[in-house]
Amino acid sequence: MHTTEVDVAVIGGGPAGLAAVTSAKNAGAERVLLIERDERLGGILNQCIHDGFGTKVLGESITGPEYAQIYIDKLQEAKADFCLNTMVLDLTPEKVLTVCSAEGMRRIKAGAVVLAMGCRERTRGALGIPGPRPAGVYTAGVVQNYMNLRNIMVGRQVVILGSGDIGLIMARRLTLEGAKVECVAEILPYPSGLARNVVQCLEDFGIPLYLSTTVTRIHGTGRVKGVTLAQVGPKWGVKSGSQRFVECDTLMLSVGLIPENELSKKAGVALSPVTGGAIVDDWFQTSVPGIFSCGNVLHVHDVVDYVTLEAEAAGRSAARYAAAGSLPSSPIKVKPGQGVRYVLPYQISGEDAVEFSLRALAPEKDRHVVFRSNGQVIRKMRELMVAPAQMIRVKLRADRFPKEGEITVEVTE
């Protein structure tokens, strides 16, 4: 098989891959290659036609396709190479990629690899909702793709299960395109999406949001005729007598994203059971030296701006690794403490300032994010409001870090 060599290979041409390959090139990696399986760069941003992107990194609110175009332009300005319609089939720990396109199969030997494959959606099969299997059950991203890229309307009367951001965005989109969105049902006692989406996508249109509620049955043969909604108790058990039938022709699911880490597993990259993404240090390096991870394949983000920042850092690290063959080790462990679901990175070198990303376990008012090192508080900051839907980002200067040992992060009173 034909083999070519590159300094940095980036897998996935969405917002993470675009930023990673451009920053790797700008950081001095000469031969870089971005590999995208779709026929267009930009990834999911192409179908996210709503606005609200860019407030953190660009200081203005723009739409997904505009955001993508800005980073495609940056890539072209940097003269970073990319290929479309190309699928990576295999990745080894030695950083050899097997790729497939219309031209056939080939191998790429990379000095460093950046994983930027993003996520796919959790489907009905993963939830195991009882009932027949009629047409009219979609995931929110599929509805978004049909409506925004293919001009296909999916239904007229819609029930939405799950209050993830894409689900909320599509509730508004469906309504504005003439469908009746009956309700959004969320199994948790709080919304999974951002507060601004609850306001602008549901409240603006009078769409009810039922919390602690789920779909217990899908009805219909051929096409969806309705669903059974039921309230759930503290342990997600269905409250008897709370079931009711809601007529609809479409059930849209917005019930979570799964990082697409099949290639990472092939390369032997260690994954976190909490995020489903790789375990990385402050270089965004995984357990396999020279393989880096960033964006939604690392952990699910709520805003693209942080994906860009993270991917730019990962791209710089990859360029440095490709040039030097190694990076300084990361001996300081970072662990989630009370009230924290996860914190990234999982270990740090202590060489430079680190921007930590963490998520709280439950929504609460007036909390403190506390960083402790070997018992001592090294940073404490107040948050008016914490919620699992909202990633918390905290930057710590290098002089705050211990030489070795452990840092724990808590969300407390």
The token duo for 201 is 């996508």
Count of residues touching other proteins (by CB under 8 A): 33
Q: How far is the CB of 185 from other proteins (least distance, A)?
A: 21
Q: Tell me if 381 contacts other proteins by CB under 8 A.
A: no
Q: Reduced to 3 states, what is the DSSP secondary structure of residue 175?
A: helix
| Residue 395 touching other proteins (CB under 8 A) | no
Q: Which of 2, 102, 128, 176 binds other proteins (CB under 8 A)?
A: 176
CB of 292 to other proteins, least distance (A): 25
Dmax over CA atoms of the chain, in Å, equals 66
User: What single letter denotes the amino acid at residue 13?
Assistant: G
Amino acid identity, residue 262?
E
Contact call for residue 4 and other proteins (CB under 8 A)? no
> Does 156 sit near other proteins (CB under 8 A)?
no
Q: In a 10 Å sphere around its CB, with 0-12 CB exposed, 13-18 middle and 19+ buried, how is residue 117 labelled? A: buried
Strands 364-373 and 376-386: antiparallel
Determine the interface stretch with other proteins among 14-22, 64-72, 129-137, 272-280 (rule: CB under 8 A).
64-72
Query: Binding of other proteins at residue 198 (CB under 8 A)?
Result: yes
The answer to the question of residue 397 lying near other proteins (CB under 8 A) is no
Q: Which of 2, 102, 128, 150 binds other proteins (CB under 8 A)?
A: 150
52 in contact with other proteins (CB under 8 A): yes
User: Alpha-carbon dihedral of residues 373, 377, 381, 382, nearest 10 degrees?
Assistant: 120
How far apart CA 6 and CA 275 sit, in angstroms, is 30
**DSSP H or E segment with residue 247:** strand 244-247
**Rounded to the nearest whole angstrom, what is the least distance from the CB of residue 367 to other proteins in the complex?**
13
Q: Which is nearer to other proteins, 26 or 200 (CB)?
A: 200
Which helix (DSSP H) or strand (DSSP E) does residue 382 occupy?
strand 376-386
Q: Say if residues 369 and 395 touch (Cβ distance below 8 Å).
A: no
Rounded least distance, CB 349 to other proteins, Å: 29
Residues sharing a CB contact under 8 Å with residue 49, sequence separation 6 or more, in sequence order:
63, 64, 65, 148
* Among positions 86, 139, 148, 163, the unique one binding other proteins when judged by CB under 8 A: 148
Rule CB under 8 A: is residue 270 a binding residue for other proteins? no
Binding site for other proteins (CB under 8 A): 46, 49-52, 55-56, 61-66, 69, 147-151, 176-177, 194-196, 198-200, 204, 302-303, 384-385, 390
